Amino acid sequence: MTIGQTPADRPRTARTRAENILADRARILLSCPDRPGVVAAVSQFLYSLDANIVQMDQYSTDPDRGRLFMRVEFDLPGLSDRRHRLQEEFARVAEPLAMNWEIRYARERKRIAVFVSKMDHCLRELLWQWEAGDLQGDPVAVISNHPDLGEIAAAFGLPFYHVPVSRETKREAEERQLAILREHRVDLVVLARYMQILSPGFVQAYPNRIINIHHSFLPAFVGANPYERAYDRGVKLIGATAHYVTADLDEGPIIEQDVQRVNHRDSIEDLKRIGRHIERVVLARAVAWHLEDRILTYKNKTVVFV
């Protein structure tokens, strides 16, 4: 670390290095009816622009459903001056193939708001990874219904917003939270053990841009107190699930899951302690994959290219 650098300066240094590397890099995400020639059409298009394909992934569903998903990461010299032409010309390739598509630019780092309550392990993991330069995005605000974690946000140079939530004030609280998100031009909301249920209106404002960590291996033990219910059932595996948030509680498209073996000797507190490690790792993976544009959603599922 350079002498005199603050904690907030360290992520900026890593970010600058990443921006220089990724200045000419873009990603095409697409899905379309599966048919011969789709991969060739995309490859030929990029070749015609003198682009270099860095990574190409594709997945085709079963023949009855017949849908193709692709992620293509490429470097294009002078990308910043060619973006408009790139979009226009790819649209002509996509239309006859009935593609749903987006082009995303690696240099445009996504802006993240982290929602928390009282538990700090998921927040700390995300901020540690950001500080190390391992996230292709930047936390810009921490929002909480409790004041407990304000010092952690301050230590990383991030604004902290305490927005109390009760049954009576939930609507006003969410309006305040949404105003904060707009103020900070937030691209992604991460619920890092935020112990409140978001309203359908809130979720609708950020479709497939709210990631939650549920302290259970969904679809088991949906809702509150999953460790207590897992203990009561005598489970031998506990886990955590990162998923996109929808209006249906804990029913959104699953991004990542992991488990760890436990046994009859483990108390509820042991399960929670083990679970905290799983939660923070699973959430960090899901956030990183979203920031790197590795996730495509279709119906209530995800295709994750890792």
Query: Is residue 163 a contact partner of residue 143, using CB atoms and an 8 Å limit?
Result: yes
Look up residue 179 and give its two tokens: 């105003």
Give residue 155's Cα distance to chain centre.
Answer: 23
* DSSP 8-state assignment for residue 51: -
Query: Is residue 69 a contact partner of residue 31, using CB atoms and an 8 Å limit?
Result: yes
Residues annotated as catalytic are 250
Other beta carbons within 10 angstroms of residue 39's beta carbon come to: 13
Query: Kind of pairing, strands 237-244 and 210-214?
Result: antiparallel
Query: Is residue 152 a contact partner of residue 128, using CB atoms and an 8 Å limit?
Result: no
| Cα dihedral 200, 206, 212, 218 in deg (nearest 10) | 60
